[in-house]
């Protein structure tokens, strides 16, 4: 796992998690900004306070932790799919690639005509 600038896998994972958390927090802040502007126009105070409670939970350590956990599940699922694809015989992968190439060549020929 030392394929990234000689860093340990732990450092790579920590840096990856930090970037995920940063993106999530930024998206929550952006959502909060947009909901604040719409909240000013809205006369329904109940929905406004609900939004604030949800935003507060999302920004709390528990909310961020849950979001990170959900994101890690998504990442783990994607890694499993990639590994499953990698286990397929190379011939099968090449066969799929050659089908795609033939279709693309056919499309190019049709465009010329």
**Helix 9-41 vs helix 45-59: angle between axes, to the nearest 10 degrees?**
170
The residue among 50 and 34 whose pLDDT is bigger is 50
Task: Determine, yes or no, domain membership for 93.
Answer: no
Q: How many domains does the chain have?
A: 1
Contact 68, 21 (CB under 8 A): yes
* Closest C-alpha among 55, 57, 63, 68 to residue 29: 55
Question: What pTM, to 2 d.p., does this model score?
Answer: 0.31
Task: Determine, yes or no, domain membership for 96.
Answer: no
Task: Determine, yes or no, domain membership for 38.
Answer: yes
Task: Determine, yes or no, domain membership for 73.
Answer: yes
Range of the domain at 70: 9-88
Task: Determine, yes or no, domain membership for 34.
Answer: yes
The pLDDT of 37-52, averaged and rounded, is: 60
Alpha helices, H only, 1-113: 9-41, 45-59, 61-87, 90-112
Q: What is the pLDDT of residues 47-106, one digit of tens each?
A: 777 777 777 777 788 888 888 888 889 899 999 988 888 887 766 666 555 544 445 555
The values of phi and psi at residue 42, to 5°, are -80, 145
Contact 39, 48 (CB under 8 A): yes
Task: Determine, yes or no, domain membership for 57.
Answer: yes
Task: Determine, yes or no, domain membership for 105.
Answer: no
């Amino acid at each position: 796992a030392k394929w990234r600038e000689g860093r340990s896998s732990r450092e790579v994972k920590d840096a990856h998690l930090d970037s995920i958390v940063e993106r999530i927090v930024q998206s929550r802040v952006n959502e909060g900004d947009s909901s604040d502007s719409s909240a000013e126009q809205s006369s329904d105070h109940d929905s406004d306070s609900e939004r604030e409670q949800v935003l507060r939970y999302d920004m709390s350590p528990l909310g961020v932790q849950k979001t990170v956990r959900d994101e890690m599940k998504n990442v783990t699922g994607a890694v499993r799919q990639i590994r499953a694809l990698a286990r397929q015989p190379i011939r099968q992968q090449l066969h799929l690639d050659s089908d795609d190439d033939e279709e693309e060549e056919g499309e190019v020929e049709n465009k010329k005509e």
